[in-house]
Amino acid sequence: MPLVTTCHQNIIFQPAISLQLSIVENATYTIQLSMVGINGITGFGSWTASFQGLLNDDGVPINSEVALVGTGSYQGIRNPSISSLLVNLKIRVAYPSQLPLETPDPTETSWKGIVNLTSGSVLGILNSQDGQIGQPIYTIRGTYRLQYDEETRGLYVTNLKIF
């Protein structure tokens, strides 16, 4: 039976995660991202943002990148080859008043997927949970580095982007 080396450590995420949003209309976007540890990793992280998405006169997004702000901290016995987190992304879209026309009701769409941390990189795919045709698929990418200090042994996740 092969010997598998494990170690107790923390996974620490940066306080801001970049999200490249798919903007199709002028609206207010409320974004919630959560990550839960799985496969021997425990912990929870949550990041949020409220964002005013705007299109120019030609229908092209003026701004589509938003910083999600929050914290995430995880710990557990980890096989050094891979760690996984279950990710849930929710985006609520509230439309501005269109008087004298009727303003559309707000919509909410959810995405879910697994993010793996392996070989210094973070990679995951988020698929729509709602089964709506035409919803984007989001990719999560980033890097991590192992850092030891006197009090903790940790993986520090940086440069995390969702696009």
> What pLDDT is stored for residue 5 in this prediction?
41
pLDDT tens, residue by residue, 34-51: 999 887 788 899 999 999
Tokens, residue 92 = 């609520």
> What pLDDT is stored for residue 6 in this prediction?
44
Domain ranges of the chain: 7-162
Residue 8 phi/psi, 5-degree rounding, is -85, 130
Closest CA to 84 of 4, 162, 155: 155
pLDDT band at 151 (very low <50, low <70, confident <90, very high): low
Place of tokens 């269109």: 98
Read off the DSSP letter of residue 15: S
pLDDT tens, residue by residue, 65-103: 999 999 988 886 555 556 789 999 999 999 999 889 999
| pTM of the model as a whole | 0.84
The residue-averaged pLDDT of 28-35 equals 96
DSSP per-residue string spanning 26-71? SEEEEEEEEEEEETTEEEEEEEEEEEEEEE-TTS-EEE-EEEEEEE
Measure the CA–CA gap between 40 and 121, rounded to whole angstroms. 19
pLDDT band at 4 (very low <50, low <70, confident <90, very high): very low
> What pLDDT is stored for residue 80 in this prediction?
52
